[in-house]
A and B are shown apart, each in its own frame.
Chain A
Amino acid sequence: MYAISRSSLIVLILLGLGFGIYPLVGDSYYIRLLTKIMALGIFAMSLDLLIGFTGLISLGHAAFFGVSAYTVVWFVVKMEILNAFLIFPAALAVAGLCALVIGWLSIRTAGIYFIMITLAFAQMLHAFFKDQHYWGGTDGINFNDKPMLMVGDTVLFDLSNKINLYYLTFSLMVAAFIFLAVLLRSPFGRAIQGVKVNEGRMRAMGYNINHLKLMSFVIAGCLAGAAGFIEATRTSFVNPEYLSWHASGNVMVMVILGGMGSLYGSLLGALALTLLGDNISSLWDHWLLIMGGFVIAVVMFMPDGISGSIESLSRRFRKASPPREETGP
């Protein structure tokens, strides 16, 4: 079952406070960067639901991030509709629908096939947006007016203000976290974690495995869509790179770096990888060389990720301190 340990609770509170307070003291560049990190954090948590909890290794998760971003563009540029109360649910719905179709086709396979097929379908959507002149082709589409939350003609929350967007992203991240934590404690959440551990036994117990996997896939797709909505709004720009398999690979690195099967780990992974990239990319043109070495080093030496290290550190710390009487079950 998904439980939040004391050490992770501390990390969570620190993360929450840090992200919550930062805009009051920070400068504009980092406010934008942290908005990106929180969006990628939602993205990484959604992939962790698949990789870390359901046992589905999807290498095409950027597809849902990207179609949601293109949905934002469609409303803002093609329809000239700016109301985020309309765009946001629509973007999630499009991402969820794509996840339903791709998931329905993919979950009938397993192992290596599943990895390759999710990658191939994401690449298919990538090719679709790249080939179509309507969607801006390889260059993508820029837009000026950002979505805003409004009722009728009154604007409640203008997302072109970066502090507003920051706090919207922050709330979405917190909401996604709580949603996933509750979901993972629900009977459904326990069932998908059972699928990861022992699929055959879950099937023998009468669960419909494909149904559980597909549900998980669609939920993850919708959450990735939420992240795509923020990223498109933040950058006012969408291009096929949103759906590229490098984007899918990057978010997978975040999940593993943070430690799979841990929601706050995904947030830490997004934070660490983005900050690392942001710092070294300005130092050296060939910084991706370092990034590649870093990814390999994580696979070799830190397969449990940051959260795994925190947990084992705190366990060692507890062992070193005098034993306490355990209470409760």
Chain B
Amino acid sequence: MDISYYLIQTLNGIQYGFLLFLVASGLTLIFGIMGIINLAHGSFFMIGAYLCWWLTSLFDNLFLGILAGIPLAVFLGLFIERFGIVYLYKRDHLYQVLFTFGLILIFGEMRSILWGNEVQGVMIPEMLSGAIPLTDTQSYPVYRLFISLVCTALAAALYLVIQRTRLGMTIRAGASNREMVQALGIDIAKLFAIVFAMGAALAAFAGMVAAPVQSVFPTMGDEILIVSLVVVVIGGVGSIKGAFLGAMLIGLADTFGAVFLPHGAGVVIYTVMAIVLLWRPQGLFGRT
């Protein structure tokens, strides 16, 4: 239990936080802009991981697998939005919950039919399979650093798109006042489709890059969904900044929870959530 051990845990926590951010950012934008509670968002993560496993074995190359998987995920997101979510915009949250709950069942069974129920592994490509030695006995895998780097780049790109482009401006405006954006004559149907497909693709991408480190298994979507919901609650609905800070907080809390409280690790993140709620019921960056 020396410094390098804690360094490794911190890096792991940050890497997990980045993955959470990719899932939670889509979730929070879909809540904030479209007013939709999408429980099936975790399924995109799971589908991404299975796509990655399937395509990687098909092409025998992880990068090709991911490249081929992303358009599929975007298409799936567009399809679900156009033929499913579109009916939910004017409906109560209750029906959105049920509808997307039904979607989870369908996604889960489709996965079972197409790819089976077994736990699968994806090989880390050779060029990233090494480890950086930290001390005589401890080292840090290169692939995990790669995940963090890719996610940092993606988070930065997302930030630039949202802060600097016209699309990003519309998204920000939509998150703060949906009706006003509609009244200004912006094609809200197109905006919704873009936001949903982007969210689905981000979640699926997170599943793809996570596949080699955490293996591919049926319930991975449910697990990440719940944790991402906690992230969104902590960060505040509709806030990308909140999603980022929440994701890092939860990523680190979960990792260090497992270190210090091996038997109560699962409870730690919810305790963090409860504390934030007592302090700020609308989340760190939520509007009252």
Name B residues whose Cβ lies closer than 8 Å to a Cβ of A. Answer: 31, 37, 84, 87, 91, 93-95, 97-99, 101-106, 108-110, 112-113, 222, 226, 229-230, 232-233, 237, 263-267, 270-271, 273-274, 277-278, 281-283
Contact = CB atoms under 8 A, between A and B. Distances in A.
Nearest to A286: B109
Contacts of A260: 94
B270 A120 contact: yes
Contacts of A300: 87, 99
- Give chain A's interface residue range (CB within 8 Å of chain B): 35 or more
Nearest to B286: A113
Interface of A: 51, 57, 59, 105, 108-109, 111-113, 115-117, 119-121, 123-124, 126-128, 130-133, 245, 249, 252-253, 256, 260, 285-286, 288-289, 291-296, 298-300, 303
A253 B101 contact: yes
A115 B274 CA distance: 14
A295 B101 contact: yes
Contacts of A59: 97
A322 B178 CA distance: 50
A256 to B, nearest CB: 6
Contact of A131 (B101, B103, B237, B264): B264
Nearest to A121: B270
B281 A127 contact: no
Given A289-B106, A296-B103, A299-B95, A127 B266 contact: yes
B229 A116 contact: yes
Contacts of A111: 93
B267 A295 contact: no
Q: In terms of DSSP, what is the predominant structure of the interface of chain A?
A: helix
B266 A286 contact: no
Nearest to B99: A299
Contacts of B266: 124, 126-128, 130-131
Contacts of B263: 131-133
Given A124-B270, A289-B105, 11 more contacts: A112-B37, A121-B270, A130-B266, A131-B263, A249-B98, A256-B94, A260-B94, A285-B112, A292-B109, A296-B103, A298-B98
Given A131-B264, A300-B87, A113 B233 contact: yes
Contacts of B265: 131
Among B37, B84, B98, B232, chain A packs the most CB atoms within 10 A around the CB of B98
B101 A116 contact: no
24 contacts: A51-B94, A109-B281, A112-B31, A112-B37, A112-B237, A113-B282, A115-B93, A116-B233, A117-B273, A119-B229, A120-B270, A121-B274, A127-B266, A127-B270, A128-B266, A131-B267, A132-B263, A256-B94, A291-B102, A292-B105, A292-B109, A295-B105, A299-B95, A303-B91
Nearest to B27: A116
A117 B275 CA distance: 12
A226 B84 CA distance: 37
A249 B102 CA distance: 9
Contacts of B91: 299, 303
A123 B226 contact: yes
Contacts of B282: 109, 113
Nearest to A116: B229
A299 B98 CA distance: 7
A80 B37 CA distance: 45
Contacts of A132: 263
A113 to B, nearest CB: 6
A105 B278 contact: yes
A127 B102 CA distance: 23
Among A112, A253, A286, chain B packs the most CB atoms within 10 A around the CB of A112
Contacts of B283: 113
